[in-house]
A and B are shown apart, each in its own frame.
Chain A
Amino acid sequence: MLSTFLSHQRKSFWRSRNKGGSIATQIIIGFFMLYFLVVAVGIGFGMTIFLPKIFPNQTVMTSFNGIILYYFAFDFLMRLQLQDIPTLSIIPYLHLKIPKRKIINFLNAKALFSAFNLWPFFLFFPFIFIEIWSIDGALVAVMYIVAILSIMVFNNYFILYLKRKSITNVLFTLVGLVIIGVFAALEYYKVISIMVASNFVFSEMADKPYLGLIFPVIASVIFILNSNYLRRNLYVEELGSKQEKKVSTDYAFLNRFGKAGELAALELKLILRHKRPRYSVFMGLFFLLYGYLFYKAPYIAADSFSKMIFAAIFMTGFSVLSYGQFMFAWQSSHFDGLLINKIDFKDYIKGKFLLFTIMCTITTILASFYGFLSPKLLLLHLAAYLYNIGFCTVLVLYLATFNYKRIDITRSASFNFQGMGATQWILMIPFILIPYLVYLPFGYLNRPYLGLMTIGFFGLIMLFMRAYWVNYIAKRLELQRYKIAEGFRE
C-alpha cells in the first residue's frame, strides 16, 4: 500500500500542470542541496581539524560532544520554518477502503523524506567512524549513531506535532532564536553552558553506553504521540493549521491619503494575511544584520562608503525589492476584480508608492541603530533611503508592468519559485549598479560626502518627479492591462 501511495505521489509530481516550473524549482533546490551536502561532508570529515582550532582549550571529544545539542537546537528552529506538513495529498484516500493505520503510516513515512534528515549523516557520522570508533570502540560508536538518529527523528516528529497543534508562527521562531541567542551569550560570558551540558550528556553515554538507549525511547514517545494525534484527528480540516476567528481591521492612519491610502491598506492586509508576502517583507528585518558584515571600523574611519553603500541600500530597501519584484502578481487572484471596479490606475500606483515609502521608512528607522557605530552611517542611510524611495520604487513598479506570471499566494513561502522570471533578475542590475556609478567618481576624487549627497540628491529629484512617474507607470499599466490580466488568470 505504501508503495502505491508513493507511486501516486510521483505521478502527481510528474503530471502536474506547471511541470516545467516545478522541475526547474526542484533542480534549483537540488543544486542547493548538493552544495549544502558537499559542505556538510566537508565539515564532517574536517571536524578533527576544525574543532581544535575553534575550541583550542579543550579536547576534540569535548568539543564534538558539546556541539551536538547546539546543532539540534538550530535544526529545530530551521524545521519550524521550513518543514512542511504532508497533508493534502491524502484527501482522495480518506473515504476509500483503506485502514487509517496505513494512511498514518504513509504520512509518517513521507515526513521522513526531508533534507533535514540527511545532514546529521554527513555532519556527524564521519567523525564517529574516524575518531570514536577507534578510541572508544564499536559499541560506543553505535550508541552515538543511535543517539543522533533518535534526536533527529525526535525533532522531525516533534515539529510536525507542534505544527499540527499549530502553536507555531513567525513570532515563535523569533522567540526561539532569541532564546538560543541568550544561551549563546550566557555561554560566551561563561554563566552557563549548553556545550557543557551537551558534553556531559554524551560523555556519560560514552562511559556507560547503555544510557544511550534513552534517546530512542524519547524518540518513540514523540512518534507515538504524533501518530495517536493523527489517528484521533484524521480529518482534513483538522490536519492543517487551526482556524481562528478573523476580525475586520481598519488602518486609520492610511485613511488620510484618500483612495491611494485605501488601496495601500488593502495591500497591507494582503501582506499580513498571507505567508509568502509576509515572509518577503519580513526578510527585510533579517537583512538589517547585514551591516555587521559590511560596516567595518577601518572603512568607517576612512570614509570609504563605496564598500558600504551596497549594504546600506540593501538594508533600507530590501523589503521593497523582495516584495516589489513580484509586483501586481500578488493580486493575481483578484486582478480582474480590481480592473472592473472604479479604481483609477493612478490611485492604484500611488497606493503602491505609499506602501513602499512606508516600508522603506520603517526599515530605515530600524537601521538607524547603526548610528551607535558611527553617526556617519546615518548620513549613508539617509542617502540610501532617498535613493530607495525616489528611484528604487519607480524601477520596481516600472518593471512590474512587464510581469505576467501568476502567483498562488496561498502556497508556502520557503523555496517557492513560482512567479520567478526574467524581471526579477533584471531588477537587481540597475538597483545595485546605479549607486556605484554615481558614487565612484567622487570616491576616486576623495570626496566621499559629496558622493553621498549626489546619490541622495538623485533620489530626491526622482521623488519630486513622483507625480510624473505615477502618470507614466499608470499609462503603461493601462496599456498592458489585458496582457497582465490574461497572464494572471491562468
Chain B
Amino acid sequence: MILEVKNLQKVYGDKTVVNIEDLQITAGETVGLVGNNGAGKTTFFRMLLDLIRPTNGQVLSKGENVMHNDNWKNYTASFLDEGFLIDYLTPEEYFIFIGSLHNLSVADVSAYLNQYGEFFNGEILNSGKYIRDFSKGNQNKVGIAAALMQKPEILILDEPFANLDPTTQIRLKKLLKEQTGNMTTFISSHDLNHVTDVCNRIILVEKGQVIKDFKTDENTLKELESYFSA
C-alpha cells in the first residue's frame, strides 16, 4: 500500500469539502480522479501533499503520515497549478533548481531535458523568456516535465490535460502510459476520454465523497458519460 487515506475530512465553516473514509492505492496503479467543479478534487490533492491541514483523519504515504515528516517528498512529485512554478526563473533555471533538490547535476538535467525536445515542441528551452511570460499551456508543460524529471514513485497531477494543445495531450498520454508499472500516478481530469484511456482505476467523487471506485474496462467511458449526463 503506497498511499492510504483514512477518515480524511476537510470542513470549511459548515461545509464539508472532502470526506473520504478509506482509500487504498497500491504501488504501480494509475488512478484517475473524476468529478465536477467543487467536488473537492484540488482540496484532496492539497491534503495529499500536506499543503492544507485536514480537519480530521490522515494521509499515509508508505505508512507514514505526510504531516509528520518530509520523507514522502523524496519520492513524490506533483504539479497542481502555476503556484508550484517559480515564475521569475527561466525554464532552464527552474529545471536546474528542481534537479539540484534531488542531487541531479546540471549535466544530468540537460541530458534529461534532451529527451523532452518533442514534448516541448521547441518552445520552452532557450526561449529567452521567464516562466511567467509563457502561455498557460507551456507553463503546464514546464510543471509536468519538472515533476517527471524527479523520477518519482508517486506522481500527482491536477488536470494535466487542461490548456494543452491536442498534440501535446497525446504525447502526455503516451508519457504517462509508458511510466505505468514502476510509478503510482494520481491524476484528476475533466476529460473523460483521456482519463479512461490513461488510468486503470477511476475514482468518482461528488461533494467531497467517493461515489464510485472501479477498475477501467471497455465500458468505463460509457458508464462515466451516463453518470455525468444524468
Q: Which residues of A contact B (CB under 8 A)?
A: 243, 245-249, 259, 262, 266, 269-270, 273-274, 333-337, 339-344, 409-410, 482, 485-486, 489
Could you tell me how many residues of chain B have their Cβ less than 8 Å away from some Cβ of chain A?
33
Tell me the bound Cα distance from A269 to B90 in angstroms.
Answer: 11
Is B228 engaged at the interface, CB distance under 8 Å to the other chain? no
B87–A334 CB distance below 8 A: yes
A341–B92 CB distance below 8 A: no
What are 20 inter-chain pairs, A to B, with CB distance below 8 A?
A243-B129, A248-B90, A259-B101, A269-B88, A269-B89, A269-B93, A273-B130, A274-B88, A334-B84, A336-B51, A336-B84, A340-B49, A340-B50, A340-B78, A341-B101, A342-B73, A343-B101, A482-B53, A485-B51, A485-B52
Tell me the bound Cα distance from A270 to B92 in angstroms.
Answer: 15
Tell me the bound Cα distance from A132 to B199 in angstroms.
Answer: 85
B51–A340 CB distance below 8 A: yes
How far, in Å, is A245 (CB) from chain B's closest CB? 4
Which 3 A-B pairs rank lowest in CB-CB distance, beginning with the nearest?
A: A245-B128, A337-B84, A482-B53
Most A CB contacts (10 A, CB to CB) among B53, B80, B86 go to B86
How far, in Å, is B188 (CB) from chain A's closest CB? 16
A246–B51 CB distance below 8 A: no
> Which of A248, A344, A489 meets B92, CB within 8 Å?
A248
> A333-B87, A337-B86 are known contacts. Are A482 and B52 too (CB-CB below 8 A)?
yes
Most B CB contacts (10 A, CB to CB) among A274, A339, A342 go to A342
Q: Could you tell me which residues of chain B, from 46 to 67, have a CB within 8 Å of some CB in chain A? A: 49-53
Tell me the bound Cα distance from A335 to B102 in angstroms.
Answer: 19
B83–A486 CB distance below 8 A: no
A336–B83 CB distance below 8 A: yes
If A248-B89, A334-B87 are given as contacts, then 18 extra A-B residue pairs at C-beta distance below 8 Å, sorted by A number, are: A243-B133, A246-B129, A246-B130, A248-B93, A248-B96, A249-B93, A262-B97, A266-B97, A270-B88, A334-B83, A336-B84, A337-B84, A337-B86, A339-B50, A339-B51, A340-B76, A341-B101, A410-B132
Is B24 engaged at the interface, CB distance under 8 Å to the other chain? no
Instruction: List B contacts of A482 (CB < 8 A).
Output: 51-53
Instruction: List A contacts of B78 (CB < 8 A).
Output: 340
Tell me the bound Cα distance from A270 to B86 in angstroms.
Answer: 9
Which residue on chain A has the smallest CB distance to residue B95?
A248
Tell me the bound Cα distance from A224 to B10 in angstroms.
Answer: 60
Most B CB contacts (10 A, CB to CB) among A243, A337, A489 go to A337
Tell me the bound Cα distance from A81 to B133 in angstroms.
Answer: 24
Which residue on chain B has the smallest CB distance to residue A244?
B128
Q: Which residues of B contact A (CB under 8 A)?
A: 49-53, 70, 73-74, 76, 78, 80-81, 83-90, 92-93, 96-98, 100-102, 128-130, 132-133
Tell me the bound Cα distance from A270 to B130 in angstroms.
Answer: 12
Instruction: List B contacts of A341 (CB < 8 A).
Output: 73, 98, 101
> A266-B86, A337-B84 are known contacts. Are A342 and B52 too (CB-CB below 8 A)?
no
| Secondary structure dominating the interface of B | loop
Instruction: List B contacts of A334 (CB < 8 A).
Output: 83-87
Which residue on chain A has the smallest CB distance to residue B126?
A248
Most B CB contacts (10 A, CB to CB) among A274, A343, A485 go to A485
Tell me the bound Cα distance from A274 to B87 in angstroms.
Answer: 11
Tell me the bound Cα distance from A137 to B90 in angstroms.
Answer: 64
How far, in Å, is A204 (CB) from chain B's closest CB? 51
Tell me the bound Cα distance from A344 to B52 in angstroms.
Answer: 18
B84–A340 CB distance below 8 A: yes
Tell me the bound Cα distance from A262 to B98 in angstroms.
Answer: 10
Which residue on chain A has the smallest CB distance to residue B102?
A342
Instruction: List A contacts of B130 (CB < 8 A).
Output: 246, 273
Tell me the bound Cα distance from A482 to B96 in angstroms.
Answer: 27
Which residue on chain B has the smallest CB distance to residue A243?
B133
B86–A342 CB distance below 8 A: no
Instruction: List A contacts of B81 (CB < 8 A).
Output: 336
Tell me the bound Cα distance from A337 to B49 in angstroms.
Answer: 10
Tell me the bound Cα distance from A456 to B5 in angstroms.
Answer: 53
Tell me the bound Cα distance from A343 to B84 in angstroms.
Answer: 13
Most A CB contacts (10 A, CB to CB) among B84, B90, B133 go to B84
Instruction: List A contacts of B129 (CB < 8 A).
Output: 243, 246
How far, in Å, is A488 (CB) from chain B's closest CB? 8
Tell me the bound Cα distance from A94 to B50 in angstroms.
Answer: 44
